[in-house]
Amino acid sequence: MLLVGRRTKLVSALWAAMALVGCQALSAQGQPFDILIQNGRVLDGTGNPDFRADVGIRGDRIIAIGRLQGAAARRTIEARDLYVAPGFIDMHSHADRALASDDVEARSAHNLVSQGITTVVGGADGRNQAWPVAAEIAAFRKLGMGLNVVPMVGHGTVRSKIMGDDYERTATPAELEQMKALVRQGMDQGAWGLGAGLEYRPGRFSSSEELVELAKAVAPYGGFYFAHQRSEAQLPNIWQVPSMVDYWAVDGVRALEETIRVAKEAGIPAVASHVKAQGRSSFGRSAIDVRLIDLARAEGHQVYLDQYPWDSYGSGRTTLIPPWALVDAAVEASGGLDSPRLRETGVLDRYRENLRRNLAASGSGDVLKRDIEFLIDANGGADRLLILDHPDAALIGKSLAEVARMRGISEVEALIEFSLNGYEGIPEGAYIRNRAMDEPDIERYMQQEYTATSSDAGVDTDRTGEGGSGRGLHPRYYGSYPRKIARYVKDRGTISLPFAIRSCTGLPAQIIGLRERGYVREGFAADIVIFDLNRIRDRATYLEPREYSEGIEYVIVNGQFTLDRGHLTGALPGIVVVGR
């Protein structure tokens, strides 16, 4: 204890000396700070405990940290009761869609800025907003942004460029070489790595060997790989059900093993995006995932996770009716409802007629009910399926299980009744929010030192935050980062505050390879979040997802306020952070 005490005094003395030198240098320069944050409790992004200090900003840089009393400043913030942290870095974001658009108001990213997000990683799910990467970067820069963007090469984009519409197969060696050339081109133009969406088209038809070879193409640049994996449940839930599977299924464990394989064979950091153990039958799988990653990391491989702190996935409607039951008998639906063939034929216009036919057909009805049971389980179970909107307003806020009990029918029968008599154009007949993940799994993933934070959210085009329920909009759009602190630091004590802040800042900066962001350090970019720990709270819910969070007081991006005293400024100081 004596040694610790002496060390603490030594550190304090060093801070005082550094602060004095800093003040003298500033006095000699005769230049005031643009922003001076006084007396804040600084969480620097390393995971270390907070320390009391002032932070001086000039232009887009942090110039000084220490005791800066008496220094001149154009704007002073008294932060005695507040925490000062690096701006939050979102490892899996869909904001790039808005940030590359011509909608200037959307570019302010109001719902993300209000959470403390200052930087987002683009290319989520393997998609670029424009190609080549140089054109995407130009689109980001064209009208300004409220956030910084880290550009990526999208695996799906590259695959489409080379294979066109003929992508439902393994790439040939010649096609793979062409894809590698595009990946290298993207890296040369400023991308930081390779992003994949392996549960989506066209990525789901790629082989593991293809992913490894493309990941090897980013290795010389010091790049990283991140993926929406092939599955996070028992099957790739976006498009498969038991009746469609005639081979050994790709489940969540095998999908993670593929991500680990990329890290091992390509020799680069690899991230399993928005990690989850999805579906009631997968509850508890986090222990297996963590064990697999721990073993890989013990061998020296850089495997990471990112996670949003919610027990529900997806935006929009929850899929609970299998695709094959909704189309004409002659239509092939094994590729899922996202198949271009289905969209073009318009067969879903007759989905109720087809559903009735399949229910009545000998044998088909039993298979259909089994598939629906699987989808109910994959979305958490009937007691965890929340009705957000239905023609009968009395059902809103109830679970599918509750409705089934009320009507004295099975849960599958209740869902079929919804489909046949509810809203037209929605196969489930209602907007339903799943709660497909279990709290112990969420917490186990979160407690790992290699788990970064993400939102998996885009920019909400409702800019008032008062647009009603949003019919399935996920509350992660408005509350992911405050929720992590409020629920899992304050309420449940799952993780400590320094640990949480590191997962939002220093850790994602480390994974990406950012050199001047993610930490409160002299010379680093002035991306800062200032929040009130006593007040911080997410207010968005599954029924009311468009509620702004509380407790984030200031957000500074490159030295400019995007949130000032809790109010959005609409400023567009974000930049494209180009790669090596």
The H or E element containing residue 208 is: helix 208-218
Judged against a pLDDT cut of 90, whether residue 303 lies above it is answered with yes
Q: What is the mean pLDDT of the chain?
A: 92
Judged against a pLDDT cut of 70, whether residue 341 lies above it is answered with no
Q: What pLDDT, in 10s, does the model give residues 1-50?
A: 333 333 333 334 444 444 444 443 443 346 899 999 999 999 999 999 99
As a whole number of angstroms, the distance between CA 365 and CA 157 comes to 39
| Strand stretches in 87-176, DSSP E | 88-90, 117-121, 148-150, 153-154
Per-residue pLDDT at 465 = 46
432-460: average pLDDT: 98
Contact (CB, 8 A) for 165 and 109: no
Burial tier of 459 (Cβ tally within 10 Å: 0-12, 13-18, 19+):
buried
Domain with CATH 3.20.20.140 in the chain: 88-313+436-568
Contact (CB, 8 A) for 300 and 264: no
As a whole number of angstroms, the distance between CA 59 and CA 575 comes to 14
Q: What pLDDT, in 10s, does the model give residues 146-190?
A: 999 999 999 999 999 999 999 999 999 999 999 999 999 999 999
| Strand stretches in 446-577, DSSP E | 451-453, 528-531, 552-557, 560-564, 567-568
User: Model pTM greater than 0.85?
Assistant: yes
As a whole number of angstroms, the distance between CA 552 and CA 535 comes to 8
| Cis check: omega of the bond before 440, within 30 degrees of 0 | no
Q: What pLDDT, in 10s, does the model give residues 476-487?
A: 999 999 999 999
The H or E element containing residue 134 is: helix 133-142
pLDDT band at 329 (very low <50, low <70, confident <90, very high): confident
Q: How many residues are present in the chain? A: 580
Domain with CATH 2.30.40 in the chain: 2-81
Nearest Cα to Cα of residue 453 among 508, 513, 531, 512: 508
Per-residue pLDDT at 457 = 97
Q: Specify the CATH number for 88-313+436-568; select among 3.90.550.10, 3.40.30.10, 3.40.1400.10, 3.20.20.140.
A: 3.20.20.140
Per-residue pLDDT at 580 = 75
Nearest Cα to Cα of residue 315 among 388, 395, 231, 411: 388
Q: Please list the residues that pair with 86 across neighbouring strands.
A: 528
113-142: average pLDDT: 98
Q: Specify the CATH number for 2-81; select among 2.60.40, 2.30.40, 2.30.29, 2.40.37.
A: 2.30.40
Per-residue pLDDT at 247 = 67
Per-residue pLDDT at 50 = 98
Per-residue pLDDT at 297 = 98
Q: What pLDDT, in 10s, does the model give residues 381-396?
A: 999 999 999 999 999 9
As a whole number of angstroms, the distance between CA 437 and CA 435 comes to 6
Using DSSP's 3-state secondary structure scheme, residue 78 falls into strand
